[in-house]
Amino acid sequence: MAFPDLSNVSIGLTSAAHVGIAVSDLDRSVAFYQALLGKEPVVRDETMHGAGFAQSQGLPTTKLRYATFNLDNLGIDLIQFQDPVGEVAQVAANRPGSMHLCFHVDDVRSVVDRMRAAGIEFLGEPYTFAAGEVNPPEALGTEVAYFNDPDGTNLELIAPKGGFARSE
């Protein structure tokens, strides 16, 4: 699919409602995110289907189960497609089309310790950006750690500083 030149366009989207994550086993993913977030889903084991809904997603048919978790600033929809069942994506941080969901924390290392104690593995050790590695320089001291959910979705913890910190 060729994309148009959007260099002179401003559509103006300014607020996110939710992120949807396709999963292979809704029950397993609900358990993982429930432990991660420390809360119950607001919607669990609901269904969606129909020809119009399928067409809106560019699919010939659609039948799915889903659950929704609400954070303070974003919803997370976990979606298990039952028809058509998709293939597992080959995601990685450097693969075009891959995305990651980032969770803001105050202390990355203490959260990593709690997660490791629960059996969650990380892709590498937590990292703090040093001089010469990041711009803007005010972001020095930002700490990050990366891990995956049960289906390989890229997830991040961040304790942002300077230019990485969101203004409220």
- The domains spanning 18-83 and 100-164 adopt the same CATH topology: yes
CA distances from 21 to 30, 44, 75, 79, 135 (A): 11, 14, 11, 6, 30
Per-domain residue ranges of the chain? 18-83, 100-164
Cα–chain center distance at 136 = 24
pTM for the predicted model, two decimal places: 0.87
Q: What is 18-83's CATH superfamily?
A: 2,3-Dihydroxybiphenyl 1,2-Dioxygenase, domain 1 (3.10.180.10)
pLDDT at residue 87 tops 90: no
- Enter the CATH code of domain 100-164: 3.10.180.10
- Per the DSSP assignment, residues forming a β-bridge with 78 are 21, 67
What is the Cα–Cα distance from 35 to 31, expressed in whole angstroms? 6
> 79: which strand partners?
22, 66
Beta bridge partners of 18: 75
Could you report the per-residue pLDDT of 34-70, keeping only the tens digit for each? 999 999 999 998 888 888 888 888 888 888 999 999 9
pLDDT at position 168 is 58
Please tell me whether residue 34 adopts helix, strand or coil conformation: helix
